[in-house]
């Protein structure tokens, strides 16, 4: 699905974001998980705090780095609810302290908690300076075929990482998830231990778990000036959050600004 129907006007100060939906139509088939190929976004950043040309120069430098390096594939704050409430409720469900009969809502809240733990892993990896390389023990994934494999020769696979052929993956913890080994496995286990969980903790809520591409590669990323400010055009694959990319330009943390506690485990 390629949607030019999304035009988000945002700003460099905290406020509600007006959204205009320019078009839409019904389809005869229900859109299910895995059907979406990606989305195209046109996002205008308004109320710049620096002169337009200075902002444009900064944005171009950021865009150049993102084209070369990609960015951590964080889940956006909209997944977590106001003040992280979805995460808290999901944690209570996984721990058995909250019972919920609505299966769809239970699954959604548990997934919010899994997403939060995945973000914690990415933040831990980034903080260790391990984002720009693959490591022995990583469960890597090919962008083209989406197939997984374990990294055994990091030096050989690093060339493919740099050329955007593969990425390390991040854990979406669940009772059947394949854990990484080596240093990546230690980091994954550290997030679980801090949360007071094991993979078996997810068995009671029937969360099997999966693995998620750890590096997001935006496609066709362009920056231009507009009467309102700066306009970004880019395409993200399924699972990528535009809020994650935009904060790289705006230098704000939407998790903090929305009251989400990134240390909540």
> What are the pLDDT digits (tens) for 40-51?
999 999 999 899
Show the CA angle centred on residue 250, arms to residues 249 and 255, nearest 5°: 115
Does the structure show a pLDDT above 50 at 258?
no
Residues 222 and 112 in one domain: no
Residues 59 and 107 in one domain: no
Predicted local distance difference test score (pLDDT) of residue 27 = 79
Half-sphere exposure of 61 (CA within 13 A, CB side): 6
Matching residue, tokens 């769809």:
104
Average pLDDT, the chain: 87
Q: Is residue 146 part of a domain?
A: yes
- Range 18-45 average pLDDT: 79
Residues 183 and 99 in one domain: yes
> What are the pLDDT digits (tens) for 206-236?
999 999 999 999 999 999 998 899 999 999 9
**Greater model confidence, 23 or 103:** 103
Count how many residues are written for the chain. Answer: 265
Q: Is residue 1 part of a domain?
A: no
Q: Is residue 263 part of a domain?
A: no
> What are the pLDDT digits (tens) for 97-154?
999 999 999 999 999 999 999 999 999 999 999 999 999 999 999 999 999 999 999 9
Does the structure show a pLDDT above 50 at 11?
no
Residues 99 and 116 in one domain: yes
Residues 63 and 127 in one domain: no
Residues 56 and 129 in one domain: no
Q: Is residue 113 part of a domain?
A: yes
- Range 58-85 average pLDDT: 94
Instruction: For residue 156, give the CATH number of its domain.
Output: 3.30.2350.20
Residues 37 and 143 in one domain: no
pLDDT band at residue 263 using 50, 70 and 90 as cut-offs: very low
Residues 138 and 164 in one domain: yes
Residues 191 and 235 in one domain: no
Residues 246 and 128 in one domain: no
Residues 85 and 118 in one domain: yes
- pTM (2 decimals)? 0.82
C-alpha 80/C-alpha 241 separation (Å) is 13
DSSP secondary structure of 112-151? HHHHHHHHHHHHHHHHTT-TTS--TT-EEEETTT--EEE-
pLDDT band at residue 13 using 50, 70 and 90 as cut-offs: very low
Q: Is residue 92 part of a domain?
A: yes
Q: Is residue 202 part of a domain?
A: yes
Q: Say how many domains are in the chain.
A: 2
pLDDT band at residue 169 using 50, 70 and 90 as cut-offs: very high
Q: Is residue 225 part of a domain?
A: yes
The boundaries of the domain holding residue 10 are 6-70+217-257
C-alpha 113/C-alpha 173 separation (Å) is 9
Pair 170, 214: CB distance under 8 Å: yes
Predicted local distance difference test score (pLDDT) of residue 251 = 82
Q: Is residue 75 part of a domain?
A: no
Does the structure show a pLDDT above 60 at 79?
yes
Residues 176 and 115 in one domain: yes
């Amino acid at each position: 699905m390629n949607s030019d129907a999304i035009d988000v006007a945002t700003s460099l100060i905290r406020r509600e974001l007006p959204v205009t939906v320019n078009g839409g139509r019904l389809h005869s088939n229900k859109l299910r998980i895995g059907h979406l190929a990606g989305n195209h976004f046109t996002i205008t950043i308004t109320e710049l705090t620096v002169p337009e040309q200075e902002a444009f120069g900064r944005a171009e430098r950021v865009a150049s780095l993102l084209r070369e390096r990609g960015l951590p594939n964080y889940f956006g704050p909209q997944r977590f609810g106001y003040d992280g409430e979805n995460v808290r409720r999901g944690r209570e469900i996984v721990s058995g302290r909250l019972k919920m009969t609505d299966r769809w809502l239970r699954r959604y809240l548990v997934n919010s908690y899994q997403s939060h733990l995945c973000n914690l892993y990415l933040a831990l990896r980034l903080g260790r300076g391990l984002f720009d390389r693959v490591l022995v023990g990583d469960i890597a994934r090919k962008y083209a075929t989406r197939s997984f494999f374990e990294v055994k020769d990091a030096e050989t696979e690093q060339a493919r990482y740099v050329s955007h052929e593969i990425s390390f993956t991040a854990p979406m913890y669940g009772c059947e998830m394949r854990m990484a080994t080596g240093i990546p496995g230690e980091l994954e286990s550290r997030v679980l231990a801090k949360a007071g969980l094991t993979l078996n903790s997810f068995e009671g809520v029937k969360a099997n778990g999966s693995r998620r591409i750890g590096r997001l590669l935006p496609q066709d990323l362009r920056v231009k000036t507009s009467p309102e400010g700066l306009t970004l055009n880019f395409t993200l694959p399924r699972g990528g959050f535009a809020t994650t990319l935009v904060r790289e330009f705006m230098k704000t943390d939407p998790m903090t600004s929305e009251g989400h506690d990134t240390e909540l485990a």
